[in-house]
Amino acid sequence: MNIVKHYKDVPASLQGCSMAIGNFDGVHKGHQEVLSTAMKAAKAVSRTSGVMAFEPHPRVFFQPQRHLFRLTSLEVKLELFETFGLELAAVMPFDANMASLSAEDFVTKVLVDGFNVCHVVTGFNFFFGKGRVGNPQVLQKLGEKYDFGVTTVEVQGEAGDRFSSSRVRELLQEGDPRGAAEMLGYWWRIKGTVMGGAQRGTWLGFPTANITLKNSEEFHHGIYAVRVYIDGGVHHGAAYLGTRPTFDDGHPVLETFLFDFEDDIYGKEILIELIEFIREDIRFRDEEELKANMRKDCEKARSILKQIERADPMLAFPFGKARHVPFELASKS
């Protein structure tokens, strides 16, 4: 997948695409329908399939004081796009310049002059342009004016529950990773580099791989059954997110105990999938009570993960590497 980071001087080979546009935080099933529609439109006219997302998230630009729980980092989002089959990802910098463009200027400067789009696909709740005056109806009229097709994907959902990034966040905050996975179409995942810790896990007989999370306080604290991807291999484990109330009640940490695993992975990047919530984060009387409960947690996690391996209903997105357009082409301003 090719990646460009501006709408100026886009290589001619990447112009004329069918482009899905949105924030795509989480790349949930509703987003996937938008992406699929753009890909079908591209195939129908033998054009490139593309996706346009914005970085940072517009909400972060307009409300920097408010913390936003990002479901997918840019890196993970791009990997999901590539695995889904998109050929081009346009990551537009959402800055003062982008925010100041009128709806029509966004269309003419970014979509027409920049990418010469043949078709645009958005969700039903897509807004664009200064003051958010642009919407799917406005986009439809501008598409007719500037000669590109427009498709609006209506609300998507199952059993009366609409697919949305906000709902996925809520489910994770409620400790329901299975419910979140049903909306995402894959198990929600966290990527990070294994860091050194206080070695309490090793001391207790449960050595853990610890990663630092920017949004560690955002999903529910407690014990989870997890799958962990390391160097192309998949491992089972039990993960803890919490403040260690039995010890210091400090800053939230994510610690993962890998079953039947002894390799040194300090400094390595790992990816953790939350599969099922096991129990709340609680304070124990002493270390012996904590260790006894940790053994029970691991037994339960093993049982859950064996069942998942036998019949995993979720999409398994293997992560690939995106191919970048040369920097001098991708970042000209």
Closest CA to 308 of 156, 199, 177: 177
Q: How far apart are CA 72 and CA 218, in angstroms?
A: 13
Superfamily holding 187-310: Riboflavin kinase-like (2.40.30.30)
Burial class (CB in 10 A: 0-12, 13-18, 19+), 59: middle
- pLDDT band for position 322 (cuts 50, 70, 90): very low
Q: What angle do CA 126, 127, 132 make, to 5 degrees?
A: 170
Query: Token match 């090719």: residue?
Result: 2
Q: What is the percent of the chain with per-residue pLDDT over 90, rounded to a whole number? A: 62
CA distances to 46, 103, 226, 228 from 210, in Å = 46, 45, 14, 12
Give the residue with greater pLDDT, 124 vs 247. 124
The stretch 178-200 carries a mean pLDDT of 84
Supply the mean pLDDT for the chain: 86
The per-residue pLDDT for 218 is: 74
The per-residue pLDDT for 251 is: 73
Give start-end residues of each CATH 2.40.30.30 domain in the chain. Answer: 187-310
The per-residue pLDDT for 97 is: 94
Q: How far apart are CA 176 and CA 184, in angstroms?
A: 12
Pairing label, strands 233-242, 189-195? unpaired
pLDDT in tens, 17-75: 999 999 999 999 999 999 999 999 999 999 999 999 999 999 888 988 888 899 998 99
The per-residue pLDDT for 163 is: 92
pLDDT in tens, 200-256: 555 455 678 998 877 545 789 999 999 999 988 899 999 999 877 666 656 778 899
The per-residue pLDDT for 232 is: 84
Residue 331 has pLDDT above 60, yes or no: no
Residue 316 has pLDDT above 50, yes or no: no
Give start-end residues of each CATH 3.40.50.620 domain in the chain. Answer: 2-159
The reply to whether CATH 3.40.50.1400 applies to domain 2-159 is: no
Question: Could you report how far apart the first and last alpha carbons of the chain are, in Å?
Answer: 22
Residue 294 has pLDDT above 50, yes or no: yes
Give the residue with greater pLDDT, 91 vs 207. 91
The per-residue pLDDT for 169 is: 94
